[in-house]
Structure 1
Amino acid sequence: MIAHLKGLLVSTGIDHAVIDVAGVGYLVGASSRTLAALGPTGEAVTIHTEMLVAEDSIRLMGFAEAAERDWFRHLTSVQGVGARVALAILSVLAPDELGTAVARQDKAMVARANGVGPKLAERIVRELKDKAGAIALGSGGSAPVAATGVSADAVSALGNLGFKPAEASAAVKAAEDELGTGATLDALVRLALRKASR
């Protein structure tokens, strides 16, 4: 599993970038938001990655920030949302904006992305509100934000062990509910693994 790449930005296209890491050029799919954040070619970049393995291909997706990668995982856990649609959504909505849309069940906001019709947008906000677990509602009317820190790291750890994003999020949320918010990463991952294997 490749978690991130650090190297020189060789080129960018409409939906991808090529990053040279020690003489090897990695082609990574990316949202327009990530591509804009990378800067000029020839500069050093660090990009978070998600590896997609299918029967006939292995692809890398790249993200300027970990929160965008985490949302990509959540989005692709929804039936009917592939990598292309997830990147289209992340091109028009920043992670915090997507968190707000899901929390408010604002399907029109999600439907602004290319390839996302009203029915799919409704399914996305409905399923992510119920399943994501890594989405926390802010108190006092503040905007909701994607979970960070220990719970996000635990979800990522389970994802690296082969769990689907929705399964990992649900298991971590169940473990966090039992252990409380002050749980260590080690304790959270251990209990989440037990919950996920039931």
Structure 2
Amino acid sequence: MIALLRGTVHERRADAVVLLTPGGVGYQLGCSTTTIAGLPPIGADVELLCHLAVREDAMTLYGFADEAERDLFHLLVGVQAVGPKMALAVLSGGTPDEIAAGIAGGDAKRLQQAPGIGKRLAERIVAELQEKLAGHATLGRDASLPAGLGDPRSPVGEAREGLLGLGLPLAEVDALLAVARGETAAELIADALRRSRK
């Protein structure tokens, strides 16, 4: 699972960046306009957190400036009918803290400003995430989560990325990893999947 990439900004687009890694491989990452705006100029080095979305017909990388943005992305794609591109559109509407505060405050109209987000979907996002984001100040650093969950390089963090890549909802993933047994990411994923089928 690709959880982080460090490389040189090779190309910038309105909704994506191409990072050229030291091994000579260029990775295209879909990003919010907020992350794009914060990137250094072409030729400069940068580090982005990642999420790899795996489908039958495609594998797509998404990049995030920080943990708060990535965690909010995971929450958004856990809402029915919200895909990665739509989640990035929402994230392009401000900082993660601003968006989380808006959702926590029930501000569905703010969400409707994002392309593709209509009234019903905005209200669904608020309904499903309002309670989860009530303490939005801890976004990206929730002390109640299992140890290592916020670190993409830890076994638990890698397992979380892997399970999310398989399409499991964020809340279910966190609940499964809170009780899963294993030393490596692969062992944790296997145990979590066994528990999810019970």
TM > 0.5: yes
Gaps of 5+ in 1: 138-142, 177-188
Structure with greater helix share of residues = 1
TM-score normalised to the size of structure 2?
0.77
CA distance change for structure 1 residues 158 and 107 in 2, over 3 Å: closer, same or farther?
A: farther
Amino acid at match of 1:26: Y
Aligned equivalents of 2:105, 2:67: Cα separation in 1? 23
The answer for the alignment partner of 1:148 in structure 2 is 141
CA distance in structure 2 between the partners assigned to 1:51 and 1:26 by the alignment: 12
Q: How many residues align?
A: 175
1:168 aligns to 2:163 (yes or no): no
> Runs of 4 or more off by more than 4 Å in structure 1?
155-158, 193-198
- How big is the alpha-carbon RMSD for the aligned residues of Structure 1 and Structure 2? 2.7
Using the TM superposition, give the Cα deviation of residue 171 of structure 1 relative to its aligned residue in structure 2, in angstroms: 5.0
TM-aligned CA deviation for residue 145 of structure 1: 4.4
- 1:185 maps to what in 2? none
Report if the CA contact (8 A) 2:5-2:47 is conserved: yes
Aligned-pair CA distance for 1:92: 0.7
Aligned pair 1:92/2:93, yes or no?
A: yes
8 Å contact from structure 2 (residues 67, 140) kept in 1: no
**Partner of 2:7 in structure 1?**
7
Structure with the bigger RCO (C-alpha within 8 Å, sep 6+) is 2
Q: Does the 8 Å CA contact 2:11/2:18 hold for their aligned counterparts?
A: yes
Tell whether the 8 Å contact from 1:136 to 1:146 is kept in structure 2 after alignment.
Answer: no
Instruction: Evaluate the alpha carbon distance shift between residue 103 and residue 158 of structure 1 in structure 2; reply closer, same or farther with a 3 A threshold.
Output: farther
1:14 is displaced (CA, Å) by 1.3
Partner residue of 2:21? Answer: 21
Q: Is the 8 A contact 2:112 2:119 kept in 1?
A: yes
The structure-2 alpha-carbon separation of the partners of 1:110 and 1:169, relative to structure 1 and needing over 3 Å to count, comes to farther
